[in-house]
């Protein structure tokens, strides 16, 4: 887990302000991201803001402990990258918990108590110690790949780490 712009206020920040860039550069950046998403078969919506994902990371760790991590993370991805929703909003986070079939009251308790804050801090420290500066980052041994990548590139990374392919029979 990596802190993606942890300085972002709860109400979010315009991409132009985050990257200190004009609208043309932001349009080009978003267009490149959309093209990459299209190549990977991922949905990608229009957005002009970034939001603080700290609470989503905390709730995501709890969801993983409940056996619902994949459902929660998928819902969070779609909420942010497809629908442009604010992941710092407790209302949005509780909606994501419901989508992942998690208890509303338990999710609210996790958010109120910040019970997974220390675990997120530990993950952030580990990311820093590994030299991770962007997401996604994939590490296998001494090799790393940064950014959304094709299956082939990720398979090459695993192969370079000495993992043999499974038989497809």
Q: What residue ranges of the chain are covered by domains with CATH 3.40.30.10?
A: 13-129
4 compared with 80, residue with greater pLDDT: 80
Residue-wise pLDDT for 145-160, tens only, equals 998 788 889 999 999 8
Closest to 51 (Cα-Cα) out of 82, 1, 9:
9
R_g of the chain computed on alpha carbons: 17
Structure confidence at residue 39 as a pLDDT band (50, 70, 90): confident
- DSSP one-letter code for 138: E
Whether residue 45 contacts residue 82, with contact meaning beta carbons closer than 8 Å, is answered with yes
Residue-wise pLDDT for 105-127, tens only, equals 999 999 999 999 999 999 989 98
pLDDT at 1: 61
Dist. CA 116–CA 61, nearest whole Å: 7
Dist. CA 71–CA 94, nearest whole Å: 13
Whether residue 52 contacts residue 8, with contact meaning beta carbons closer than 8 Å, is answered with yes
Q: What pTM did the predictor assign?
A: 0.82
* Residue 127 phi, psi dihedral angles, 5° rounding: -60, -45
Strands 137-140 and 143-146: antiparallel
Q: What is the 3-state secondary structure (H, E, C) of 98-109?
A: HHCCCCHHHHHH
In the chain the first and final C-alpha atoms are separated, in Å, by 35
- Of the CATH numbers 3.30.70.890, 3.40.30.10, 3.30.1360.30, 1.10.40.50, which one belongs to the domain with range 13-129? 3.40.30.10
């Amino acid at each position: 887990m990596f802190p993606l712009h942890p300085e972002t206020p709860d109400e979010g920040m315009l991409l132009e302000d985050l990257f200190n860039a004009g609208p043309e550069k932001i349009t080009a950046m978003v267009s490149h991201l959309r093209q990459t998403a299209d190549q990977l078969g991922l949905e990608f919506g229009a957005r002009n803001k970034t939001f603080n994902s700290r609470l989503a990371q905390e709730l995501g760790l709890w969801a993983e402990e409940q056996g619902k991590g994949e459902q929660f993370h998928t819902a969070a991805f779609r909420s942010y990258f497809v629908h442009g929703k604010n992941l710092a909003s407790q209302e949005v986070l509780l909606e994501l918990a419901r989508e992942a079939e998690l208890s509303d009251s338990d999710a609210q308790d996790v958010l109120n108590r910040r019970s997974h804050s220390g675990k997120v801090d530990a993950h952030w420290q580990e990311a820093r110690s590994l030299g991770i500066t962007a997401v996604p980052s994939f590490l296998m041994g001494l090799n790393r790949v940064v950014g959304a990548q094709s299956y082939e590139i990720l398979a090459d990374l695993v192969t370079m780490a000495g993992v043999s392919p499974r038989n497809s029979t």
